């Protein structure tokens, strides 16, 4: 058996879909000043189901002006933390109340399997609750020199935060940025990914109903090279938080330099999953499968390079490939589906090209193209079968380059030193997964692997209090927990003299 697919024969389309998606500026839904639009398609039919306002520089200017006015003269930055926390909790309540609808729309717009989309909606709500709690509990340092001086930190919001978000799990990833930026008292301009604007448009009414003042949240849809570029370059936007591809991050870095903006960028990844011979093999296979094939493989932290100790290499490859062949591929709205459609034909073409490259760089164990037995009506969609290549050399493109799809490269290693060298042999450094029962090895390996985040004997289960971010080409800075509050606030040192000041008397 190559694939088991749900017997869906018709493509599910949610009720009451919008046919046109607008910007949201200063409390109102508006079109672009120019009237420009772009088409929005769903990844199963690849048909256009809506148009979206295509933001240009003038639309960003209006959004930033509204956000700046709300920051300087509005109530939001001046509210007590508890007052802001109440609004954030009402936002979380609204997200939870709309879980089914949010997941339905997210699945339709992204191709993400519905069961996984539901989890993302709940995580979005939890992000708002987390930062509501955090700002109420937040305290700042005070340093005392007895009889001479007291010093304290005055933490305050910075201003207008520019938030640029990706198309994979967009609603949840938007919440990662919106929640701490708003909790800290900033106002925001959100530029969602042009492939997936649908769920982002829901924030406006959620925020309005929760009592967020007009102008605090603004949304401008559009292409990265137009709306995103204008937001990055705008002189009244002191902060940019970006999640996306590394090359785009480098462009943002260059364009933000003129105004010396604060930057937080979570970029690409090619994360290793290292399996030693003493590992719990079944648990490691479960995690390694989930880590690269969940979310359709469109995840920055995917463990897409699996490094396996030679003693268990053949057994691992055999078992892993057998499981990959049985992954359920089908209509994203079917609850049995485990891998859905890739987000867009452009991205499908990219992933498919890497599959073809892989056929000359590794031994194909599973997949290798479109699934063989898709239900009727899905054959022209953006589906890639879960694809497994073994015996992949460290200099292979599928070993080195981010594919961002359901494609994995497996490579053997002989000893700990070789495993570490292979794990670090890439320009990326976002995550790493290590499977071993040897506690000393586990900690030493974790501390020496070049990755911003490491999971030992676990898949990607994240505590919201911990820092999230990468090293090398995988990012700049960290968010998560207090690191997010640090990024979205200025920390001003205030010094107070308690006694006589002994100042050298120049010119006396």
> For residue 483, which of 460, 466, 461 has the smallest C-alpha distance?
466
Distances (CA, A) of 374 to 89, 317, 319, 381: 42, 25, 23, 10
Six-digit token string for 350: 């990219």
Six-digit token string for 503: 């100042």
Angle formed at CA 89 by CA 87 and CA 94, multiple of 5 degrees: 95
Please tell me the distance from the alpha carbon of residue 45 to that of residue 383, in angstroms, as a whole number. 11
499 exposure class (CB count in 10 Å sphere: 0-12, 13-18, 19+): exposed
Q: What are phi and psi of 378, to 5 degrees?
A: -115, 0
Q: Are 89 and 128 in contact (CB under 8 A)?
A: yes
Per DSSP, the three-state class of 223 is: coil
Q: What is the largest CA-CA distance in the chain?
A: 94
Q: Which H or E element spans position 348?
A: helix 345-358
Given strand 149-157, what is the order of strands in its sheet? 142-145, 149-157, 489-497
Hey, which residues are catalytic here? 266
> For residue 294, which of 459, 469, 175, 124 has the smallest C-alpha distance?
459
Per-residue 3-state assignment (H helix, E strand, C coil) for 91-125: HHHHHHHCHHHHHHHHHHHHCCCHHHHHHHHHHHH
In this structure, the strands spanning 475-476 and 262-266 are antiparallel
Please tell me the distance from the alpha carbon of residue 367 to that of residue 292, in angstroms, as a whole number. 14
- Residue partners of 125: CB distance under 8 A and separation at least 6: 91, 92, 93, 95, 96, 99, 175
Please tell me the distance from the alpha carbon of residue 27 to that of residue 208, in angstroms, as a whole number. 8
Q: Are 481 and 138 in contact (CB under 8 A)?
A: no
**What DSSP string runs through 11-73?**
----TT--SEE-EEETTEEE--TT--EEEEE-TTT--EEEEEE---HHHHHHHHHHHHHHHHH
Q: Are 60 and 225 in contact (CB under 8 A)?
A: no
Distances (CA, A) of 484 to 26, 140, 141, 365, 468: 25, 15, 17, 42, 9
Angle formed at CA 246 by CA 245 and CA 251, multiple of 5 degrees: 105
């Amino acid at each position: 058996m190559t694939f088991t697919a749900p017997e869906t024969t018709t493509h599910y389309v949610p009720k009451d879909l919008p046919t046109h998606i607008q910007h949201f500026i200063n409390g109102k839904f508006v079109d672009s000043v120019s009237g420009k639009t772009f088409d929005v398609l769903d990844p199963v039919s690849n048909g256009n189901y809506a148009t979206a306002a295509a933001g240009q520089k003038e639309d960003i200017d209006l959004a930033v002006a509204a956000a700046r006015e709300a920051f300087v003269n509005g109530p939001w930055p001046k509210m007590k933390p508890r007052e802001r926390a109440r609004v954030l909790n009402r936002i979380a309540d609204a997200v939870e109340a709309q879980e089914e609808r949010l997941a339905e729309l997210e699945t339709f717009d992204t191709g993400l399997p519905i069961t996984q989309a539901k989890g993302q909606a709940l995580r979005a709500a939890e992000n708002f609750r987390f930062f509501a709690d955090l700002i109420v509990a937040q305290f700042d340092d005070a340093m005392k020199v007895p009889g001479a001086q007291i010093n304290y930190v005055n933490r305050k919001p910075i201003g207008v935060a520019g938030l640029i978000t990706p198309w994979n799990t967009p609603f949840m990833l938007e919440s990662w940025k919106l929640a701490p930026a708003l909790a800290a008292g900033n106002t925001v301009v959100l530029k969602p990914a042009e492939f997936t604007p649908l769920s982002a448009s829901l924030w406006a009414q959620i925020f309005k109903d929760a009592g967020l003042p007009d102008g605090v949240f603004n949304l401008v849809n559009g292409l990265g090279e137009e709306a995103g570029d204008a937001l990055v370059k705008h002189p009244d936007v002191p902060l940019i938080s970006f999640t996306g591809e590394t090359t785009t991050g480098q462009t943002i870095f260059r364009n933000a330099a003129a105004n010396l903006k604060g930057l937080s960028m979570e970029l690409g990844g090619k994360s290793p999953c290292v399996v030693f011979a003493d590992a719990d093999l079944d648990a490691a296979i479960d995690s390694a499968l989930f880590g690269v094939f969940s979310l359709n493989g469109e995840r920055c932290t995917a463990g897409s390079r699996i490094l396996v100790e030679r003693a268990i290499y053949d057994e691992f490859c055999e078992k892993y490939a057998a499981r990959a062949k049985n992954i359920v591929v089908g209509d994203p709205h079917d609850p049995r589906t485990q891998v859905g459609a890739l987000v867009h034909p452009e991205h499908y073409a990219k992933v498919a090209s890497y599959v073809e490259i892989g056929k000359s760089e590794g031994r194909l164990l599973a997949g290798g193209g479109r699934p063989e037995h898709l239900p009727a009506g899905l054959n022209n969609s953006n589906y890639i079968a879960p694809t497994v290549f073994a015996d992949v050399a460290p200099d292979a493109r599928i070993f080195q380059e981010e594919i961002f799809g359901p494609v994995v490269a497996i490579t053997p290693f002989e000893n700990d030193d070789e495993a570490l060298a292979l794990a670090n042999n890439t320009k990326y450094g976002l995550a790493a997964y290590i499977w071993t029962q040897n506690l000393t090895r586990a900690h030493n390996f974790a501390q020496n692997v070049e990755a911003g985040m490491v999971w030992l004997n676990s898949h990607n289960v994240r505590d919201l209090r911990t820092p999230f971010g990468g090293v090398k080409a995988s990012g700049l800075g960290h968010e998560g927990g207090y690191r997010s509050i640090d990024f979205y606030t200025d920390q001003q040192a205030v010094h107070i003299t308690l006694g006589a000041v002994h100042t050298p008397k120049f010119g006396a």
